[in-house]
Amino acid sequence: MSDRLSGNEAVAYAIKQINPDVMGAFPITPSTEIPEYFAAYVANGEVNTEYVAVESEHSSMSVCIAAQAAGARSVCATSSCGLALMYELLYVAASCRLPITLACVNRALSGPININHDYSDSMGARDSGWIQIYAENNQEAYDNFIMAMPIGETTTVRLPVMTCMDGFITSHAVENIELLETEVVRSFVGTYNPENYLLKKENPLAVGPYDISAYYMEHKVQEAEAMKAAKARILDVAAEFEKISGRSYGLFEKYRMEDAELALVLMGSTAGTAKAAVDKLRAQGLKAGLVKIRVFRPFPAEELALALASTRAVAVLDKSEGFSGNGGPLFAETRSALYDLKERPYLIDLVYGLGGRDIKVEDIEKVFERLAEIAASGETGSVYAHMGQRSKEDMV
């Protein structure tokens, strides 16, 4: 069935269809509507989820950790400073191997305070041990949330999953999307049957005890191995999801990359704008393409290197600033991924869109113009620059 829903409505509806055991709920723009919509489902008796309204995002994640450790499937939603307030507990959830599902509606971090979209919130948590999956549009936001639980809950993974979508751009815009039948969703997601949990009387255990140096590293290695195993599981779940939906997903999407010489690497809703630019340039004879990263953690390094191996020049578009002095986080990952190629494309990073600054098709065309110049001259110029800020200098 199809319906016209915002991204927030779509995710709330997916949560309704899943009917989790517990939701830790605290509002923050632009994710507020997710717990709001879901609260209505709870009040109307459409789900039997224990809806726990708390005093902060730190507490909402605490609720999820406690519930998941007790054997209950738990979810929450947040954005920006709310995710930052959870940072301590994000690490706890991952290290305790608790497959909580969190809907992150990406919004710029303060300060100065800003309520619009970039990826500074989730990128700040990129090394916390959470799987991260990004959506381009409302359909993907809905689909990703449904796929999250079968990914995180499998015994070879047992890691929390953060499904991300662009604040206001995706979360509030209304689109036609295809919804699955509730019975199909619940069958696909299944029931949560952890092997060990606090309330299992046959095997009492502690969760999150003090981990002395004789054991801590072994547990971190297990966590790292679980993240590696997540890559194959993500693909397996996507293959099963295609059977029930007809929609195909991978670690990333290649768009017109079959013979591309010039390419972009980016994430989220900007891909729609960039695809329009690619189509326009292709009509003019330019061999342009793009790779839209869907799964940022675990990062698909080997697969991305293969996808870009035949290109001549690549621009990474980072919608968050890494403050490393060398570019944004997506650039760092992409550059590392390409390092082992015997012949690498020229690579540059353009940080754009911070705090919701708009990007247009014409801006993407200018990026490809620069890539064409780089491919022709062999000179990259400034490898790391910003694009779209008010300045007399042309940073592109």
- pLDDT tens-digit series, residues 12-64: 999 999 999 999 999 999 999 999 999 999 999 999 999 999 999 999 999 99
Long-range contacts of residues 43-48, Cβ cutoff 8 Å, at least 24 apart: 46/16, 47/16, 47/19, 48/19
List, in order, residues 6 or more apart from 278 with CB less than 8 Å away: 255, 256, 264, 288, 289, 290, 364
User: Same domain for 233 and 372?
Assistant: no
pLDDT at position 225 is: 98
If we measure between CA atoms, which residue out of 155, 127, 175, 57 comes closest to residue 332? 127
Amino acid identity of residue 106, one-letter, is N
How far is it, in rounded angstroms, from Cα 151 to Cα 251? 13
Tell me which residues of the chain have a pLDDT lower than 70: 392-396
pLDDT at position 205 is: 87
pLDDT at position 396 is: 56
User: Same domain for 190 and 307?
Assistant: no
Domains of the chain: total: 2
User: Same domain for 164 and 269?
Assistant: no
Report the DSSP beta bridge partners of residue 2.
178
User: Same domain for 146 and 274?
Assistant: no
How far is it, in rounded angstroms, from Cα 332 to Cα 349? 9
Structural domain including 21 reads: 2-245
User: Same domain for 97 and 42?
Assistant: yes
pLDDT at position 393 is: 60
392 falls within a domain: no
User: Same domain for 195 and 70?
Assistant: yes
170 falls within a domain: yes
User: Residue 363 belongs to a domain with what CATH number?
Assistant: 3.40.50.920
| Boundary-marking domain end, from 245, 276, 299 | 245
User: Same domain for 69 and 98?
Assistant: yes
DSSP calls for 262-328: EEEEEETTHHHHHHHHHHHHHHTT--EEEEEE-EEES--HHHHHHHHTT-SEEEEEESS---SSS--
User: Same domain for 224 and 95?
Assistant: yes
User: Same domain for 76 and 171?
Assistant: yes
| Boundary-marking domain end, from 209, 224, 245 | 245
User: Same domain for 159 and 177?
Assistant: yes
395 falls within a domain: no
User: Residue 100 belongs to a domain with what CATH number?
Assistant: 3.40.50.970
pLDDT at position 395 is: 47
**CA dihedral of 337, 339, 343, 346, whole degrees rounded to 10:** 80
136 falls within a domain: yes
396 falls within a domain: no
User: Same domain for 160 and 300?
Assistant: no
User: Same domain for 271 and 196?
Assistant: no
pLDDT at position 392 is: 62
| Boundary-marking domain end, from 193, 212, 245 | 245
pLDDT at position 2 is: 85
